[in-house]
Structure 1
């Protein structure tokens, strides 16, 4: 039954992300994208501090080791991003958008695909590790991950079009990368089911990845809007995103 929920969640999330990414990339303005990023920050941080870390602490009973893994994970993701392996791109404010050279744009598009495939496979592993602990934790973790995937895939879709791909090929590549999360999830199910003692470590890595994405990638983009109206809206959306996780944590469990 757990495997069923893992597959259903990953497939549904991948298809929903594809739908929103392509629809929004064609029709939505930048303001809507920025609102989605604010919401993603709330869901990511809410999932980390209300669900994922508490479960990791409960399973491991070793707070020091768990927090050490979180710290090491943040450092690892920083190094990976420096190597251009772990690249999140949201909206138009992205290094991948900065060059007008056609060859450079093709290279950027390729890096986006490679990075997104790797990133989504890791997300699948994180989702599975959460489902193996608790159904509610799995759903909350998946919700948080897919919430930040929507603005990311919107950015990736724009980069692929900018690199010279046709709209149909860009759709296809986004679909493949979106569903690569399923491959990582199913693979993790058959491996982690026999290695339960690694689950607290993976949950800690999941927390570190979400913290890193929120702090290093999403929040800096929000600071580009400095008006009082935009700032208040951002705070409200972050609170709303965290509130969704809070409600699920307290009333759905």
Structure 2
């Protein structure tokens, strides 16, 4: 049952986020629905922070593992993701020049570090990222079904603005709408492979589960605080600031609601 849930949740998060992104682009971000990339970034940041601090970390600390090694793992995880992003930024900047300013104009900063290469380079990078998301979702499901559902929702939320950027870049590089959607959906489907790998590793190495959950938390915290929220820290009107806060609170509320609805006694 757990494996079936993992496969379903990883596919929903990996491919579902692509389809939601495509639907929002088709409706027209900032159009009559007044939903813009900044709103999606706020929603994703709230969902990621709520998942890390209200669900993943408490579950890891309840596993009986000493607190100090878990905090050390959290710290090392944050440093690791910082160094990893620096390496990616340096690599693409060195090969292709500083190309991410164009993405800033579209509000798609979240995915800018993938946009330096060609279409297939972007898809390859996304596939690796989605594989990691699948492992994290599987780790959460092995710990608790409710926790897995919350983690999958958070991954979906932060992948929507990411995939909007992917689709925009592929379209700008000449890909047809259907071809761009297919390519990004294939990358999203790799989440299921990550879920399978995570299930068979974590389920057979139970003592490591608290550490997997802590690493997942460090990933979510880093993405929210270092990647998403800085993009929202610009001078805005009072109304725009209130809208950001409302969407951030909406992300937290959504994670809390899913946690309550998916609670398994």
Fold conserved (TM > 0.5)?
A: yes
Q: Answer whether contact 1:18 1:178 (CA < 8 A) is retained.
A: yes
Partner of residue 192 from structure 1, selected from 193, 202, 212: 202
Task: Report how far residue 252 of structure 1 moved.
Answer: 4.3
- If the length of structure 2 is used for normalisation, what is the TM-score? 0.84
Q: Which whole-Å CA distance do the structure 2 matches of 1:42 and 1:55 have between them?
A: 19
Q: How many residues align?
A: 247
Unpaired runs of 5+ residues, structure 1, are 99-104
Correspondence for 1:55 among 37, 56, 59: 59
Query: What pairs up with 1:1-253 in 2 under 5 angstroms?
Result: 1-30=1-30, 31-84=35-88, 91-94=106-109, 107=117, 109-224=119-234, 226-250=236-260, 252-253=262-263
Rate the CA distance shift 1:216–1:252 in 2: closer, same or farther, 3 A.
Answer: same
Aligned partners of 2:55 and 2:260: how far apart in 1? Answer: 10
CA distance in 1, matches of 2:236, 2:50: 24
Identify the range of structure 1 (63-72 vs 120-129) with the bigger mean alpha-carbon deviation. Answer: 63-72
CA deviation after TM superposition for structure 1 residue 188, in Å? 1.5
Give 2:95's aligned residue: none
What are the ranges of 5 or more consecutive residues in structure 2 without an aligned counterpart?
A: 93-99
Note the C-alpha offset of 1:239.
1.4
- Distance in 1 of aligned mates of 2:195 and 2:261: 26
Flag the 1:215–1:95 CA change in 2: closer, same or farther, 3 A: closer
- The 3-state SS of whatever aligns with 2:255 is helix
Give the TM-score normalised by the residue count of structure 1: 0.88
Q: Deviations over 1:21-77 (max 9, x none)?
A: 112223322552221111111111000111000001011431111111111111111
Superposition RMSD on alpha carbons, in Å? 2.6
In structure 1, distance between residues paired with 2:262 and 2:221: 24
CA distance in 2, matches of 1:96, 1:58: 34
Question: Does structure 1 conserve the Cα–Cα contact (< 8 Å) formed by 2:44 and 2:158?
Answer: yes
> Is 225-234 or 206-215 further displaced after alignment?
225-234
Query: Displacement of 1:209 after TM fit?
Result: 0.5
